[in-house]
């Protein structure tokens, strides 16, 4: 989310889900909303019913293409070229919002120069999208009264993920499609509490509420609240901790409820790193690929077994409530209090509501949030004070950057870290399926779901299937420079020629043995969406 | 919400009480907002009104036949009566007709206590018509793991078909057959399968009777005997709200929270049917300590002491830069906050991060 934060101020969705159905045009970019966020897609359906124009930008022929006015079938990794191309057309055709650009943004001249060479013909070469479609999409988006962008991990899970998000912001800003209801940019996140987990500041350079650790004033505030001196040097990102572990310089790691040995790219590297940690604690509700490496495993409590809050993809803070007792007797928040106290730092709360009170006292965006209020209804941050109603639409008056203006960022097409070649001629795109979730440890334990959706299948285009002489249901070996897996094939027109698709929910098809080691240098987000593979009939 | 333009304010009389309301709404909407009860069977706020069941009739002064309130927009100065002897009689007759071709087997029905038909039959004291005609005796459909359809309990309100076609844009089911033989079904009566259905359960969530029910929770506890705990889905970042139904300390079912601003009662297959993991036998139940390459069970005290002493010792020996934590996008805000606090205050570094940043 660093991209949106740089351009606009906040690393979060600018608007609310229920505004989607009120937009006149939707640009759905790198998000298979129907499967990834089924209930958000109900809002999209409503927009379709209301007659909104729909633009889908995705290398796969996802279900939404059926309802789209234009499908921009770009090559994986060519997001920036496509977005620059859209801006190019909008500027050339005079469809931009001069007034908005003047009053609310900076850096427009840089952008203008940068997109100059992204003519429809050039963009066609880079992305494979036809000039006609590019122009039509630009006209639809720019011409709408209220246009909204929904983007998914197809934007962020690239080595240029941060820049891709900035390119999205550029597009919204040239048209002034932001800062009003039913406009803006909705970044659709993968896991349930990604937003909250970012807000809470388990981050190497920021405390709770995006407050930098390098700022002495901020540190002072936290030092006073927490009663200890705090380090001013930013810490290591998760990838860096693992890299250091492999080198032998990082020794003790606590992993809470994550499964990097399954869901991270380039698993072999992760496995070596985890094996090198001197003392590894993993807390989870089920055994995973990662718990195998642990020295101590702690049982986690499921969402049904504890009190707390999650923050959804529209910045809405909502309660979760304890329905049954934790199987292991303890919730994670209690465990952390006990560990801290055993290490000589008193951490004691009678109830998670007291933790929220502390969060509210330290993070201004959560300032007015309390369990008493949340019991009356959920609240969207920023909510700075007890009587503030919360915020459905960001940036109505100002962007949350110094000076209050949004910033255009000049960007160049770079492409993916790994592109197909003679040895590895296919692009593997990875993603999610509607019926499963992440490492699958939860959904694979539902009998009904497993009965209906028992196995992972490699999606291969009919043309490629014919070329390789592979039939529906046959087993193939998929290999990349990092590893290989065996999987059954589904011949499916959803894939375009040259691209194949796999999800990563199943333990017997460890898709991430294949995925690319390339990462976004700014956020460390892996390039899950594109790597080169070879497919061989077994 | 700040997106919608408020309609013009007008005044109407409902049951002789003056009410200010926004133009463009229906009589039913205004009454619901004002807390005035009007019975409905085919209405669901998630759907365009269909006007099929005629239970929501009201009298409007100057119009000599009752109007269905779910489809009639309000007009300035309207004088509306929501209940009268005549209306009550009409409603009772319509309910009696429905009950005449209904199993009326509430004793054994999953939906008892949460069924609109049962509730309205009670309120209006309706019984099956005295001269009972032919009744359906159709086989129950249990051809998929999620949804059971008992056509005999179907009152043909059309809600399931409507929600599947117009909210999900899926159209897995449609009204088939005519007259007495009409019922919702898939094309050619095929079983619901991934080929034609999303298993979102929206049809179940809108069915006013026990015709469509969740199969996995069959016979585990009905509305009045379960505790309902409102919570937030733990799968994706949409953050749908729903109720966990709990009986004997076990989660038995997920039911819709129709008032949620996020999902308005809608859910997907994971939220509605993906709860089995909670009580799965594979859950890790105690702390485990690895010894000689194998895990053995340990008490909390033993495990937490070990963690505290090992992290303490490593920090002592190699310095705070050599220790850290990955926090989780699956855990709560409070837990993420505490991880961050623990690493910074106790371990003394800023080595704390979300695992994958996705
Ligand atoms: S489960 Fe969903 S898709 Fe399937 S029939 Fe019901 S509403 Fe339609
Ligand atoms: S199955 Fe339920 S929702 Fe569908 S028509 Fe029959 S009663 Fe109505
Ligand atoms: S019910 Fe489905 S769409 Fe809603 S939060 Fe859960 S997983 Fe996401
Ligand atoms: S609720 Fe109005 S006709 Fe059924």
pLDDT of residue B131: 65
Do the beta carbons of residue A243 and residue A273 sit within 8 Å?
A: yes
Ligand 2, atom nearest to B155 Cα:
7
CA distance A65 to A28: 10
B243 and B288 both lie in a single domain: no
Find the residue in B nearest to A203 (Cα). B353
Give the 3-state secondary structure of chain B: CCCCCCCCEEEEEECCEEEEEECCCEHHHHHHHCCCCCCCCCCCCCCCCCCCCCCCEEEECCCCCCEECCCCECCCCCEEECCCHHHHHHHHHHHHHHHHCCCCCHHHCCCCCCCHHHHHHHHCCCCCCCCCCCCCCCCCECCCCCEEECHHHCCCCCHHHHHHHHHCCCCCEEEECCHHHCEEEEHHHCCCCCCCCCCCCHHHHHCCCCCEEECCCCCCCCHHHCEEEEEECCCECCCCEEEEEEECCEEEEEEECCCCCCCCCCCCHHHHHCCHHHHCCCCCCCCEEEECCEEEECCHHHHHHHHHHHHHHHHHHHCHHHEEEEECCCCCHHHHHHHHHHHHHHHCCCCEEECCCC
Do B191 and B161 share a structural domain? yes
Q: Residue B130: inside a domain, yes or no?
A: no
Interface test with B, best of A31, A32, A37, A39 (most B CBs within 10 A): A39
Query: Is the CB of B211 inside a 6 Å radius of any atom of ligand 2?
Result: yes
Q: CATH 3.40.228.10 region(s) of chain A?
A: 2-188
Please indicate, yes or no, if residue B79 is contained in any of the structural domains: yes
In a domain, B116, yes or no: no
CB nearest to A49's CB, from B166, B249, B250: B166
Q: Would you say the C-alpha torsion A163, A164, A168, A170 has a positive or negative sign?
A: positive
Probe target for ligand 1 pocket from B199, B216, B266, B272, with the most ligand atoms within 8 Å of CB: B199
Block residue for tokens 């129709």: B258
Structural domain ending residue among the three candidates B83, B105, B128: B83
Query: In whole angstroms, how large is the CA radius of gyration of chain B?
Result: 27
3-state helix, strand, coil in chain A (%, to 5): 35, 15, 45
Residue located nearest, by CA, to atom 3 of ligand 4: B51
Q: Which of A251, A299, A300 sits opposite B286 (nearest CB)?
A: A299
Taking the C-alpha atoms of residue A381 and residue A58, their distance in angstroms, rounded to an integer, is: 30
Mutate which: B334, B340, B348, vs A, most A CBs within 10 A:
B334
Ligand 1 atom index nearest CA of B167: 7
- The partner residues of B231 in beta bridges, in order of sequence, read B242
Q: What is the pLDDT of residue B2?
A: 39
For residue B91, how far is its CA from the centre of ligand 2 (angstroms)? 19
ω into A511 cis (within 30 of 0) = no
Q: Probe ligand 2: pick from B154, B161, B204, max atoms within 8 Å of CB?
A: B154
Alpha carbon distance A157, A77 (integer Å): 10
Supply the residue whose CA is at minimum distance from atom 8 of ligand 2: B157
- What is the total count of domains within chain B? 5
For the stretch A225-265, pLDDT in tens is 999 999 999 999 888 999 999 999 999 999 998 888 887 77
What angle do helix axes A79-92 and A120-127 make, rounded to 10 degrees? 170
Chain A, nearest residue to B357 by Cα = A525
- Residue B99 within any structural domain of the chain: no
List CB contacts of A321: < 8 A, sequence separation 6 or more: A307, B229, B230, B231
List the helix and strand counts (H, then E) for chain A.
20, 21
Q: What 8-state DSSP symbol labels residue A24?
A: S
Residue with structure tokens 């249990």? Answer: B142
Chain B residues touching residue A257 (CB < 8 angstroms): 328, 330-331
Say if the Cβ atoms of B338 and A435 lie within 8 Å: no
Distance A477 CA to ligand 3 centre (A): 33
Decide: residue B276, CB within 10 A, 0-12 exposed, 13-18 middle, 19+ buried.
middle
**Which residues make beta-bridge pairs with A537?**
A476
What is the reported pLDDT for A197? 92
Select from B246, B261, B355 the Cβ nearest to the Cβ of A260: B355
Q: Which CATH architecture has domain A426-537?
A: Beta Barrel (2.40)
| pLDDT-flagged residues of chain B (< 50) | 1-4, 357-358
CATH number, domain at B240?
Answer: 2.20.25.90
Query: What residues of chain A lie within 8 A of the CB of B291, using their CB?
Result: none
Q: What count of residues does chain A have?
A: 538
For ligand 2, atom 2, the nearest C-alpha belongs to B207
Nearest to A304 among B278, B323, B341 (CB): B278
ipTM greater than cut 0.90: yes
Q: Which residue range forms the structural domain that includes residue B40?
A: 9-83
Are the beta carbons of A445 and B239 separated by less than 8 Å? no
- B294 is a domain residue: yes
B147 in ligand 2 pocket by Cβ < 6 Å?
Answer: no
Taking CA atoms, A194 is separated from A114, A187, A310, A484, B329, in Å, by: 33, 11, 9, 30, 5
Residues B276 and B292 occupy one common structural domain: no
Q: By alpha-carbon position, which residue is closest to atom 8 of ligand 3?
A: B236
Question: What is the side-by-side strand order in the sheet with A316-320?
Answer: A308-311, A316-320, A379-380
Contact A160, A516 (CB under 8 A): no
Q: How many residues does chain B have?
A: 358
Which of B40, B46, B155 to mutate for ligand 2's pocket (most ligand atoms within 8 Å of CB)? Answer: B155
Q: What integer pLDDT is reported at residue B3 of this predicted model?
A: 39
Which residue CA neighbors atom 4 of ligand 3 most closely?
B240
Where does CATH 3.40.50.740 sit in chain A? 194-380
* Pocket flag, ligand 4, residue B209 (CB < 6 Å): no
User: Nearest-CA neighbor of A79 among A408, A409, A410, A413?
Assistant: A413
Are B200 and B254 in the same domain?
A: no
> How high is the pLDDT of residue B1?
38
- By most ligand atoms within 8 Å of CB, the mutation choice from B268, B272, B273 for ligand 3 is B268
Distance between Cα B80 and ligand 2 center (Å): 29
Is B134 domain-assigned?
no
Q: Tell me where in chain A the CATH 2.40.40.20 domain(s) lie.
A: 426-537
Say whether both B145 and B200 belong to one domain.
Answer: yes
User: Which residue among B285, B288, B342 sits closest to A339, beta carbon to beta carbon?
Assistant: B342
Contact of A250 with chain B, judged by CB distance below 8 Å, is answered with: yes
Beta bridge partners of residue A187, listed in sequence order: A151
B25 inside domain: yes
A426-431/A484-491 β-pairing: unpaired
Domain-embedded: residue B132: no
CATH number assigned to the domain with residue range A194-380, chosen from the 4 options 3.40.50.740, 3.40.190.10, 3.40.50.2300, 3.90.79.10:
3.40.50.740
| Cβ within 8 Å, pair B269-A286 | no
Whole-angstrom CA distances from B297 to A35, A329, B256, B280 are 39, 14, 39, 18
pLDDT, residue A135, reads 97
**Which residue in chain A is spatially nearest to B315 when comparing CA positions?**
A252
Best to test chain B binding among A315, A323, A356, A377 (most B CBs inside 10 Å): A323
Three-class DSSP category at A363: coil
Domain match, B209 and B150 both: yes
The DSSP line for A52-101 is -EEEEE-SS--GGGGG-SEEE-PPTT-HHHHHHHHHHHHHHTT-S-HHHH
The CATH number of the structural domain formed by A2-188 is: 3.40.228.10
Torsion over CA of B180, B184, B187 and B188, rounded to 10 degrees? -40
Asked if B326 lies within 8 A of A39 by C-beta distance, the reply is no
* Residues in chain A, pLDDT under 70: 1
CATH code where residue B163 lies: 3.30.70.20
């Amino acid at each position: 989310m660093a991209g949106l934060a740089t351009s606009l101020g906040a690393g979060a969705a600018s608007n609310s889900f229920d505004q989607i159905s009120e937009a006149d045009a939707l640009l759905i970019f790198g998000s298979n909303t129907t499967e990834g966020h089924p209930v958000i897609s109900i809002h999209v359906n409503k927009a379709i019913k209301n007659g909104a124009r729909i633009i889908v930008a995705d290398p796969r022929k996802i279900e939404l293409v059926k309802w789209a006015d234009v499908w921009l079938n770009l090559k994986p990794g060519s997001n920036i070229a496509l977005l620059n191309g859209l801006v190019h057309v909008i500027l050339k055709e005079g469809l931009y919002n001069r007034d908005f650009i003047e009053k609310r943004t900076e850096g427009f001249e840089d952008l203008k120069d940068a997109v100059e060479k992204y003519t429809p013909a050039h963009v066609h070469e880079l992305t494979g999208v036809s000039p006609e479609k590019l122009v039509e999409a630009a006209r639809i988006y720019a011409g709408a009264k209220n246009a909204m962008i929904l983007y998914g991990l197809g934007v962020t899970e690239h080595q240029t993920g941060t820049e891709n998000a900035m390119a999205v912001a550029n597009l919204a800003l040239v048209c002034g499609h932001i800062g009003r209801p039913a406009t803006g940019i909705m970044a659709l996140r993968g896991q349930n509490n990604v937003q909250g987990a970012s807000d809470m500041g388990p981050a190497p350079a920021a405390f709770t509420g995006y407050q930098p650790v390098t700022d002495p004033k901020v540190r002072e505030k936290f030092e006073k609240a927490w009663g200890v001196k705090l380090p001013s040097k930013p810490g290591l990102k998760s990838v860096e901790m693992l890299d250091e572990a492999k080198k032998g310089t990082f020794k003790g790691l606590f992993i809470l409820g994550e499964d990097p040995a399954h869901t991270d790219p380039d698993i072999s590297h992760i496995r070596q790193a985890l094996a090198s940690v001197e003392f590894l604690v993993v807390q989870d509700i089920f055994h995973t690929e990662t718990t195998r490496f642990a020295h101590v495993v702690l049982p986690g409590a499921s969402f049904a077994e504890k009190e707390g809050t999650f923050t959804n993809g529209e910045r809405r803070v909502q309660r979760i409530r304890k329905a049954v007792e934790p199987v292991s007797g303890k919730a994670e928040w209690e465990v952390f209090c006990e560990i801290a106290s055993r290490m000589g730092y008193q951490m004691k709360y009678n109830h998670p509501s007291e933790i929220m009170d502390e969060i509210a006292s330290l993070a201004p965006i959560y300032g007015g949030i309390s369990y008493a209020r949340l019991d009356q209804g959920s609240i969207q941050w920023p909510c700075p004070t007890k009587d503030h109603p919360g915020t459905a639409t960001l940036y109505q008056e100002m962007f949350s950057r110094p000076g209050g203006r949004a910033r255009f960022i000049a960007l160049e097409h770079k492409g993916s870290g790994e592109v197909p070649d003679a040895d590895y001629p296919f692009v593997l795109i990875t993603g999610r399926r509607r019926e499963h979730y992440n490492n699958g440890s939860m959904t694979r334990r539902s009998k009904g779901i497993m009965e209906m959706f028992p196995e992972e299948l490699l999606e291969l285009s009919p043309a490629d299937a014919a070329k390789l002489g592979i039939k529906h249901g046959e087993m193939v070996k998929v290999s990349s420079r990092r590893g290989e897996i065996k999987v059954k094939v589904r011949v499916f027109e959803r894939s375009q020629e040259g691209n194949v698709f796999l999800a990563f929910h199943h333990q017997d098809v460890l898709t991430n043995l294949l995925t690319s080691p390339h990462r976004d240098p700014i956020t460390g987000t892996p390039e899950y969406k594109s790597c080169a593979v070879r497919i061989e009939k077994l | 919400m700040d997106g919608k333009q408020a309609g013009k304010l007008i005044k109407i009389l409902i049951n002789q009480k003056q009410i200010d309301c926004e133009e463009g709404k229906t009589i039913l909407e205004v009454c619901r907002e004002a807390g005035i009860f009007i019975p409905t069977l085919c209405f669901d706020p998630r759907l365009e009104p269909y006007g099929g069941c005629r239970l929501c009739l009201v009298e409007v002064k100057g119009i000599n036949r009752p109007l269905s309130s779910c489809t009639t927009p309000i007009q300035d100065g309207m004088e509306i009566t929501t209940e009268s002897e005549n209306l009550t009689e009409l409603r009772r007759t319509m309910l009696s007709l429905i009950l005449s071709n209904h199993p009326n087997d509430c004793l054994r029905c999953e939906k008892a206590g949460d069924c609109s038909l049962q509730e309205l039959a009670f309120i209006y004291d309706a019984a099956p018509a005295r001269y009972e005609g032919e009744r359906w005796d159709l086989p129950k459909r249990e051809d998929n793991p999620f949804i059971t359809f008992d056509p005999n309990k179907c009152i043909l309100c059309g809600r399931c078909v409507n929600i599947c076609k117009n909210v999900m844009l899926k159209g897995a089911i449609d009204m088939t057959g005519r007259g007495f033989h009409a019922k919702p079904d898939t094309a050619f009566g095929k079983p619901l399968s991934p080929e034609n259905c999303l298993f979102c359960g929206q049809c179940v969530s809108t069915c006013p009777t026990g015709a469509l029910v969740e199969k996995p929770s069959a016979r585990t506890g009905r509305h009045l005997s379960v505790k309902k705990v409102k919570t937030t889905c733990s799968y994706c970042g949409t953050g749908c709200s729903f109720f966990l139904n709990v009986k004997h300390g076990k989660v038995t079912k997920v039911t819709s929270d129709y008032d949620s601003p996020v999902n308005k009662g809608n859910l997907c297959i994971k939220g509605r049917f993906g709860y089995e993991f909670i009580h799965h036998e594979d859950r890790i139940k105690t702390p485990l300590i690895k010894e000689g390459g194998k895990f053995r069970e340990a008490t909390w005290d033993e495990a937490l002491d070990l963690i505290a002493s090992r992290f303490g010792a490593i920090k002592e020996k190699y310095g705070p830069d050599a220790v850290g934590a990955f926090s989780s996008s699956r855990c709560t805000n409070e837990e993420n906050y505490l991880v961050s606090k623990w690493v910074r205050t106790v371990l003394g570094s800023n080595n704390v991060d979300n695992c994958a940043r996705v």
